[in-house]
Structure 1
Amino acid sequence: MRNSFPARGERVCGGAVDTQALGEEMGAALEAGDLVVLEGPLGAGKTTFTQGIAKGMGVKGRVTSPTFVIARQHASLSGGPALVHVDAYRLGSDLGELDALDLDTDLEDAVVVAEWGGGLVEQLADSYIHVSLDRHTHSATEARIISWRVVGGM
């Protein structure tokens, strides 16, 4: 990840627009080989955040939850890295399933964003960006607290 985005931070996002805007900021700083691990309960905004990342990266296609397909690949519109959006919840404990998906790109040449990836997909890279989406603190509103930190040496 480029230095244009802080390695650690926290922001209160008032709703989907703010969540996508923060994702877009991060997406503009991501580089090939980056791994983003998203954690948070159902409805916390993981896919919404990924939509922002996709916009910041300038990739093709509509970003939707990969729940039923496990992973979706979005090619770059400008020669940058592809975005691989993964639902790690369905991978169980076997990362071999990710390799078996026959993605059209080498994961080292893409940005991988994994929903529900904690405790599993970190094995894909020496360092990664951990993003936590907390909606429980503001459960009466659409607001959520999004915090992130780089783990390892990016």
Structure 2
Amino acid sequence: MEAPAAPHNPSDRNHGEPNPAGPGDPADVRRTLELTVTSPEAMLDLGRRLAGLLRAGDLVMLTGELGAGKTTLTRGLGEGLNVRGAVTSPTFVIARVHPSLGDGPPLVHVDAYRLGGGLDEMEDLDLDVSLPDSVVVVEWGEGKVEELTEDRLQVLIARATGDTDDDVRRLTVTGLGERWAEADLDALKA
């Protein structure tokens, strides 16, 4: 039996066209939103808004060059999720767990920059064990953690080309899978 098609959303990049993953593939359900962020403070605020959409079991993959704002976005997520501890780049420790100060899920913040392989190399981090009860954010996770779940949020952060302000970033937020088919990604707009 074929899964019902996701409702058309004007912000969908593929406008209801099949995903290259193929028909019937859970990753075929895709929603995309493009945003512009003009400052580090605005990136923190976006993270706080994104936290309002997240729940235990969510995987967020952040992609962008060094200094793009991945950790700043995650810091805002941590504030929005009300977790303990300063959210800083886990580059040298690979992963940090930030327990919730309330009744929300903990935040697991991973920096996969130094990890070369796919999910096999990340098994020691036990992300598959943490995922059901936590919000897991993986910087540099593309090609490494997709196998953890069919439902994930991918955030691509790029410096704005041609803009004279070095703080301006263009973000492409893509929700993959059934979890994100009905999510209100428009809530991320400022």
Structure 1 residue 92 displacement after superposition: 1.7
Instruction: List per-residue Cα deviations over 1:11-48 (Å, max 9, x = no partner).
Output: 21111000111111001210000000000111100000
Instruction: Confirm whether residue 147 of structure 1 aligns to residue 176 of structure 2.
Output: no
Q: How does 1:51-70 map to 2 (within 5 A)?
A: 51-70=75-94
Instruction: List per-residue Cα deviations over 1:65-123 (Å, max 9, x = no partner).
Output: 010000010000112111000011222214344342468x7321001100011111111
Instruction: Confirm whether residue 44 of structure 1 aligns to residue 68 of structure 2.
Output: yes
Aligned to 1:113: 137
Normalised by the size of structure 2, how large is the TM-score?
Answer: 0.72
Aligned residues: 148
SS at match of 1:106: helix
Q: Structure 1 residues 139, 46: closer, same or farther in 2, change over 3 A? A: farther
SS at match of 2:178: coil
Q: Which stretches in structure 2 are left out of the alignment for 5+ residues?
A: 1-10, 12-30, 180-190
Q: Structure 1 residues 136, 82: closer, same or farther in 2, change over 3 A? A: same
Q: How does 1:62-141 map to 2 (within 5 A)?
A: 62-101=86-125, 106-137=130-161, 140-141=164-165
* Alpha-carbon distance between aligned partners in 1 of 2:41 and 2:67, rounded to the nearest angstrom: 15
Q: Which amino acid is 1:15 matched to?
A: S
Name the Cα RMSD after superposition. Answer: 1.9
Q: Percent identity?
A: 47
CA contact (8 A) 2:68 2:169 kept: yes
Q: Which stretches in structure 1 are left out of the alignment for 5+ residues?
A: 1-5
Aligned to 2:36: 12
Which of structure 1's runs of 4+ aligned residues deviate more than 4 A? none
* Alpha-carbon distance between aligned partners in 2 of 1:85 and 1:119, rounded to the nearest angstrom: 17
CA contact (8 A) 2:44 2:72 kept: yes
CA contact (8 A) 1:35 1:112 kept: yes
Structure 1 residue 130 displacement after superposition: 0.5
